[in-house]
Amino acid sequence: MQRRPVPQFSPSMRPLALTQGDPSGIGPELALKAWLQRDERALPPFACIADIDHLRGLARSLSFDVPLVACDWDDVGAQFAAALPVIPLEFREPVTPGRPDPATAPGTIAAIDRAVGAVRAGQASAVVTNPIAKSVLYAAGFKHPGHTEYLAHLEADGGSKPHPVMLLWSEDLAVVPVTIHVPLSAVPGLLTTDLIVETGLIVAAEMKSRFGIAAPRLAVSGLNPHAGEGGALGLEDDAVVAPAIARLRARGVDARGPYPADTMFHARARAGYDVALAMYHDQALIPIKTIAFDDGVNVTLGLPFIRTSPDHGTAFDIAGKGLARPDSLCAALKLAARMAAFSARAPA
């Protein structure tokens, strides 16, 4: 992966909009811990969109010395050094850490809506989302597969939705699954040359505009073992993946492959590309979670705004116990600020 200078968070840059995530999960606790570590981790200013009474009670139960202040977006920068700024939500139902409840779903969704609204209004520079539990939202009637798809829905214009792309990022590896949350048996039918090309174009464009990489290098994995081994282990690599790489190269993208996935992720191989395009979920997420389990970041590309998130779930089993590590959230906050700084410098 090419190393680029990391822009510092300018005092004039707008704060980050951090959502609470599922309030019964570890998201609120991570927000408190991130603020406590703001100086040692050099975190940019952020405001948490949450119920301030719930955060206050959680901080008290965990003996966290976190002053909280309800404020507007214009006051976040001035308040951040002395207190965690909170954009207030009000829950209609009590929240118990570790006990997910569909009754809290409206608050979870409202936090996402308000974060996106703040970015649209120019009040915040990026959205950072704490983890949600899809099963809890589904039980409350949520109609979208997950966070990413809901964000794309919010940006739909006249029935046309953005094509969201999930990037898993760390300093040592960036990888994109072309197909995401679908059964493995469905992948060959969903994987098309057009889908790979569209994904690759979005990745290449945003590596330039939001990561500061002038000529991003994309390594594309095969679908089958040994990238199909000339058709002996499957036809998709020659019939679907290779033509997509040729089309990307014709569009000026430095795309290479298809490569056998089992040889793409060791250190020497990673030095030869900036982003790996994998064909399905586990092919992408196993290496990134092996290499950067604690501080990997989930980034949504293809949206008109920046969105990052910790690369882990709600961890209901440890919620409210003070055990959750804020590493991934802190990395998500820093990367969101970094992307915002690069975006501000990118030519219009």
Question: What CATH number does the domain containing 43 carry?
Answer: 3.40.718.10
Contacts of 194 (CB under 8 A, 6+ apart): 244
| 17 lies in the same domain as 153 | yes
Is a pLDDT exceeding 70 seen at residue 310? yes
The number of folded domains in the chain is 2
Cα distance between residue 246 and residue 170, in whole Å: 28
Mean of the per-residue pLDDT values of the chain: 92
Q: Please indicate, yes or no, whether residues 153 and 282 belong to a single structural domain of this protein.
A: no
Q: Give the model's confidence band at 151: pLDDT under 50 very low, under 70 low, under 90 confident, else very high.
A: confident
Neighbours of 127 (CB within 10 A): 26
Same domain for 179 and 156: no
pLDDT at 320 over 90: yes
- pLDDT at residue 285 greater than cutoff 70: yes
The answer to whether residue 34 sits within a structural domain is yes
Question: Is 216 a member of any domain?
Answer: yes
Q: What would the pLDDT profile of 21-65 be if each residue is shown by its tens digit?
A: 999 999 999 999 999 999 999 999 999 999 999 999 999 999 999
pLDDT of residue 159: 61
User: Which residues constitute the domain of residue 46?
Assistant: 1-162+304-348
pTM score, whole prediction: 0.91
> Looking at the structure, do residues 278 and 343 belong to the same domain, yes or no?
no
Q: What is the pLDDT of residues 163-211, one digit of tens each?
A: 889 999 999 999 999 998 889 999 999 999 999 999 999 999 999 999 9
- Tokens in use for 281? 């979920």
Tell me whether strands 46-50 and 16-19 are parallel, antiparallel or unpaired.
parallel
Beta strands in 180-324 (DSSP E): 217-221, 254-259, 275-278, 297-301, 307-310
Structural domain includes residue 91: yes
- What percent of the chain stands above pLDDT 70? 95
Q: What pLDDT does residue 4 have?
A: 46
* Percent of residues, the chain, with pLDDT higher than 90: 82
Same-domain status, 267 and 327: no
Q: Are residues 135 and 282 in the same domain?
A: no
- Shared domain check, 215 and 317: no
- R_g of the chain computed on alpha carbons: 20
The mean pLDDT of 9-15, rounded to a whole number, is 72
The verdict on 181 and 261 lying in the same domain is yes
Query: Is residue 7's pLDDT more than 50?
Result: no
Q: Please list, residue by residue across 288-326, b when 16 or more beta carbons sit within 10 angstroms of its beta carbon and e when fewer do.
A: bbebbeebbbbbbbbbebbbbbbbbebbbebbbeeebbb
